[in-house]
Chains A and B, each alone.
Chain A
Amino acid sequence: MKPIRDEDLILHYYGESSDPAELERRMESSPEIRERFEKLRSTLDKVSEPKVPVRGSDYAERVWQGIEPALRMKPWWQRWLDPVAGRRWVVVGAAASLLVVVFLAGRISTQLPTPQAAELVDLGQERDRALFMTVANHLERSEMLLLELINVDVGDSVNVASERLVASELRSQSRLYRQAAVQAGQLDVADLLERLEMVLIELANGPDDVGSTDLEVFRQRLEEGDLLFRVRIVGSRLREDTMKSTQPEIDGDSALDV
């Protein structure tokens, strides 16, 4: 006879048991199961909704005042099509041209026989900044995924199907970013991405249902390898570097020159 798990009792409590009649029969024949269910019911019955603060009768008006200015605005695509805003297209055109130049420079810079050093440095910085920001976002998403798995509470097993999908997506991205990091000379970032990729591959290729022992082993490996810590530190550093490089130089040497 199949053992009754806590999960079965929880589903029964919420009226979602696949076979409620069978569960009732089991409880009638087993005081132990009945007692477990009564204990669960007694606890969950006490979980009452936290008191919701009352909003006054003018609340709708306040909400309306908050959103009305935004509603009056046309959607972004209409604003861009507005002839008055035609000059924006000039900006868009210039930005697009710049992007094309940056992209092409990245592709052919190694073939140029006599590059202008200053121009290449600028373009390289531009490329690095885009890479840093992208990798920082990627590390943040990976960190959230790992934290979710670390903090999951398991009974016999836990279903990680949705986490596997995320891991699969992140794994593909991780590989691309690692290659880009190598090309940009960011070897420590590339090394971290490689380690992360290994974990993501393992997750993505694993089963939907993971046993508590396997999950515990996974947690221990993460903790021992310091991976989560490094993901967080490197992510923060890349974000800070990006922010610094986008800020105008108003202090330091340039400020002293004024």
Chain B
Amino acid sequence: MIRMASNEFELVDLARTGNADAFHELVVRDSQRVFRTAFRITGNEEDADDVVQETFLRAYRKLHLFDGRSQFSTWLHRITVNCSMDLMRKKARRDARELSDEGVNEVRMIAMDPRPDRLAASGEVGRQVEKVLRSLSPTERTVFVLRHFEGYTSKEIGQMLGMRSGAIRNAVFRAVKKMRSSLEPMMEECHETHKG
């Protein structure tokens, strides 16, 4: 019966009636995609695995709220994004508690320090991008990932996160500014080196 249920709407309908096999099939279809989104946002494999589990649990418990106006995968993506951001916020709160004032500032300065001489020599733009991503606030990082890597518009992201487009755009501006202030000195240095 499950194999015959060719589309996700049929599977969702079956899962709503308590059919575990149907929900299992949805997990099979979507778990890799959910993991990819969770990893992009959290930047950490273990966290992403936790998010995947939490996403499917939350989806199962809220299945009765899925109205079928969008694809199930779209609805699931929205849950994934919110689970990821919730987890990052929890971690940020914990980190803030653990670090002293000086500690927070020190960590932040290290995270934002582009150290152009070293990085230009190594040419590790990708590593620097990851470093900047880690230094962003949970909201900035989530919004930037959705805007820059996944191509969602500010309006769509606002709907996903329950925030206004203006706030989303501000988060994008802040993230881009941090990216630029970290990458551009390094790129200029590389450029100078090549010219020399």
Contact = CB atoms under 8 A, between A and B. Distances in A.
B97 A50 contact: no
A151 B27 contact: no
A53 B170 contact: no
A40 B173 CA distance: 12
B32 A60 contact: yes
Contact of B167 (A6, A11, A48, A159): A159
17 contacts: A16-B154, A39-B184, A40-B180, A43-B180, A43-B184, A44-B148, A44-B176, A50-B130, A53-B45, A60-B27, A63-B27, A63-B56, A64-B27, A140-B93, A147-B96, A153-B177, A159-B166
Interface string B175-189: 011111001100100
A40 B178 CA distance: 12
Task: State the 5 A-B residue pairs at the shortest beta-carbon distance, nearest first.
Answer: A60-B28, A60-B31, A49-B149, A162-B167, A63-B31
Contacts of B147: 14
Interface stretch (A26-34, A67-75, A121-129, A188-196): A67-75
A148 interface: yes
Nearest to A208: B166
A233 to B, nearest CB: 10
B39 A53 contact: yes
A55 interface: yes
Contacts of B163: 162
Contact of A46 (B35, B125, B154, B167): B125
DSSP majority for the A interface? Answer: helix
B57 interface: yes
Contacts of A66: 53
Interface in A156-189: 158-159, 161-162
A7 interface: yes
A71 B22 CA distance: 13
Contacts of B43: 50
B129 A48 contact: yes
Contacts, number: 122
Interface string B3-36: 0000000000000000010011001100110011
Interface in A1-48: 6-7, 10-11, 14, 16, 39-40, 42-44, 46-48
A169 to B, nearest CB: 15
B53 A71 contact: no
Contacts of B178: 153
Given A67-B27, A228-B101, 4 more contacts: A43-B183, A64-B27, A148-B139, A232-B101
B133 interface: yes
Interface of B: 20, 23-24, 27-28, 31-32, 35-36, 39-40, 43, 45, 52-53, 56-57, 60-61, 89, 92-93, 96-97, 101, 104, 108, 125-126, 129-130, 133, 137, 139, 147-149, 153-154, 163-164, 166-167, 169-170, 172-174, 176-180, 183-184, 187
A236 interface: yes
A232 B154 CA distance: 34
A248 interface: no
A61 B25 CA distance: 10
A52 interface: yes
Contact of A11 (B35, B89, B104, B169): B169
B35 to A, nearest CB: 5
A257 to B, nearest CB: 35
Contacts of A152: 174
Contacts of B31: 55, 59-60, 63
A68 to B, nearest CB: 7
Contacts of B139: 148
Contacts of B166: 159, 161
Contacts of A50: 40, 43, 126, 129-130, 133
A42 B180 CA distance: 10
Contacts of A140: 93, 97
Nearest to B151: A14
Nearest to A10: B176
A67 B57 contact: yes
A161 B164 contact: yes
A178 to B, nearest CB: 22
Contacts of B148: 14, 44, 47
